[in-house]
Amino acid sequence: MTGTAVEAERRKFDALAGQWWDPDGPMRPLHRMNPLRTGWIAQRLGGVAGKAILDVGCGAGLASEAFARMGAQVTGVDAAGAALAAARAHADAGGLDIDYRDGAPEDLLAEGARFDAVVALEVIEHVADRPAFLAALAGLAKPGAPIFLSTLNRTARSFLFAKLGAEYLLRMLPIGTHDWRMFLSPGELGAALRPAGYRITDLAGMTMSPTGQWRETRDLAVNYLAMARPAG
């Protein structure tokens, strides 16, 4: 496996490739969360039409397709080959031109690629070498360009709701999707971004209602979004 991708994580998400686009399947929470995530990012970019966006850990392309439908020039990269095959097939069926790459962000770095925004949604909690991963994201951003991440805070509430509740009680996610020990707080994310030359400039919580709909909140205890820009 190249770069910062973890083999066990790749296998986990490859196994879900055939069900990724089922809105009522194991990726249902991501389907419902996606409009909030991509809308929040688009708003902070002042719109994405015509912008070059890199979707790191794109999976089968939920966020990539949303950005492409907004008019962005999207590149998606993932180490899970089966998920990428599902992404390509779904984009082709929908008439979307998305450049999907098999590999890790470090592979794009070697090509000298640069983007107007770099996005990594629900990814960093599955990455072992976070400093290397964030350094790669920073290196792929054009000068002054932002990085966007979404992830889970490591709190008692996230263990209760995102791990026990979502995986074992409600069966909203396959058991084993997350390792709570890999979750990280906004403070830890900010500290990890500093060596890459970035600082967090905006944060928002994401909260799911009893009906399964997601909304932006100030509560960062479970799911949250972060925008980071070059420091200094």
How many Å apart are CA 51 and CA 225, to the nearest integer? 20
Q: What are the pLDDT digits (tens) for 97-136?
A: 999 999 999 999 989 999 999 999 999 998 989 999 999 9
% pLDDT > 90, the chain: 67
Q: What are the pLDDT digits (tens) for 189-224?
A: 999 999 999 999 999 999 988 777 899 999 999 999
Yes or no: say if 137 and 56 are a contact pair by the CB < 8 Å rule: yes
How many Å apart are CA 176 and CA 172, to the nearest integer? 12
- HEC assignment per residue over 21-33: CCCCCCCHHHHHH
Q: Residue 169's pLDDT is what? A: 45
Q: What are the pLDDT digits (tens) for 129-182?
A: 999 999 999 999 999 999 999 999 999 888 776 654 455 444 455 555 667 678
Whole-model pTM: value is 0.88
The full length of the chain comes to 232
Mean pLDDT calculated for residue range 4-31: 72
In the predicted structure, residue 14 carries a pLDDT above the cut 90: no
Domains in the chain with CATH codes? 7-230 (3.40.50.150)
* Residue 152, beta-bridge partner list: 223
More confident call, 232 vs 186: 186
Q: Residue 176's pLDDT is what? A: 54
Q: Residue 25's pLDDT is what? A: 83
Helix, coil or strand: residue 176 = coil
- Cβ density class 127-136: b for 16+ within 10 Å, e for less: beebebbbbb
More confident call, 15 vs 46: 46
**Residues of each annotated binding site for S-adenosyl-L-methionine:** 37, 57, 78, 121
Q: Residue 210's pLDDT is what? A: 75
Q: What are the pLDDT digits (tens) for 70-93?
A: 999 999 999 988 999 999 999 999
217, burial (CB in 10 Å: exposed 0-12, middle 13-18, buried 19+): middle
CA 171 to chain centre: 21
